Amino acid sequence: MQANISLVIHLSNKLFADPRRIRLLLAIEETGSISRGARLAEISYKTAWDAIDAMNTLAEQTIVERVAGGKGGGGAHLTVYGRRMLRLYQLLEQIQQKAFDVLQEDNQPLNSLPGAISRFSLQTSARNQLSGTVADRHSDGVLETITVLLSDKHTRVQVTITHGSGERLQIMPDKEVLVLIKAPWLKVHPRPAGEENQFPVTISAITPGHTGTEVLMQLANGETLCATLPPGETNFTEGQPAWASFDAANALLASLN
């Protein structure tokens, strides 16, 4: 769904950027002139200058620089900071639209920022992306075991990472993270197998292939997991209760720092 979402930014409780001011900046970047940019943006020169003056005053760095008149006449241009701000605004507009699109997907959680972002922006080869919060961090020197409470608030899983990775990701209690598990790393059992990181699932689809079988499973919270099993290891039927598991070393952690 293409929503009409307007992004408005205030700094110090004053208007800094909105769609009209962004159109003006784009026009100035194109024409190299405030007056021509104002005409292209269909606003008056005074309105344009007032907007530029306000943005230059509120921003930490100058957005638009005026060039004094000379043999070739005067003009204006966006600074490096101004061009970066313009690109950031356009990026935020795209993020808003992508985030709104997630609303249409009933099974996608919206109670976790990394979890929501992963659905509309994070693309990895890991088919399984589970959102949760850090419950514990235990180190034995080189390696660390991170316990993650998943978004269902009941299931806990453990992931093994290096101490350096834990520091780089700034792992701490209650930090929101994603647990990424590639499909071949996920095991499926007809009953509890006494392995680490196991949780109940329901088989939702089975797709046989020449090199293996893809098994889709539903968690209790509606999220879907995917496992690829070797040929001859699939003795499941759709709708069957089962258990999924993975080794702590066969998972990755991702976070927003």
Nearest to 151 by CA among 117, 112, 180: 112
What value does the mean pLDDT take over residues 190-198?
85
CATH 1.10.10.10 fits 9-103, yes or no: yes
Inter-CA distances, 228 with 179, 195, 209, 215, 245, Å: 18, 18, 10, 6, 13
Q: Report the alpha-carbon distance of residue 170 to residue 182 in Å, rounded.
A: 23
Beta-ladder partners of 132: 150, 177
Q: Report the alpha-carbon distance of residue 218 to residue 240 in Å, rounded.
A: 11
Q: Which residues of 12-28 are buried (b: 16+ CB within 10 A; e: fewer)?
A: eeeebbeeebbebbbbb
Q: Report the alpha-carbon distance of residue 199 to residue 186 in Å, rounded.
A: 11
- Position 161 pLDDT exceeds 90: yes
What value does the mean pLDDT take over residues 11-15?
93
Q: Report the alpha-carbon distance of residue 212 to residue 176 in Å, rounded.
A: 34
Are the CB atoms for 241 and 191 separated by under 8 Å?
no
Domains 9-103 and 122-256 share a fold: no
3-state secondary structure at position 67? strand
Q: Report the alpha-carbon distance of residue 196 to residue 159 in Å, rounded.
A: 10
Nearest to 217 by CA among 242, 194, 234, 196: 242
Q: Report the alpha-carbon distance of residue 150 to residue 132 in Å, rounded.
A: 4
- Position 42 pLDDT exceeds 90: yes
CATH 2.60.40.1890 fits 122-256, yes or no: no
Lowest mean pLDDT among 75-84, 106-115, 172-181, 240-249: 106-115
Nearest to 176 by CA among 222, 124, 226, 130: 130
pLDDT of residue 154: 85
Token look-up 């496992």 returns 227
Helix spans in 32-112 (H):
34-40, 45-58, 80-102
pLDDT of residue 82: 94
- Position 148 pLDDT exceeds 90: yes
- Position 63 pLDDT exceeds 90: yes
Instruction: Give the whole-number percent of the chain exceeding pLDDT 70.
Output: 83
Would you kindly state where each structural domain of the chain is located, as residue ranges? Answer: 9-103, 122-256
Q: Sorting pLDDT into bands at 50, 70 and 90, what band is 102? A: low
Q: Report the alpha-carbon distance of residue 202 to residue 220 in Å, rounded.
A: 8
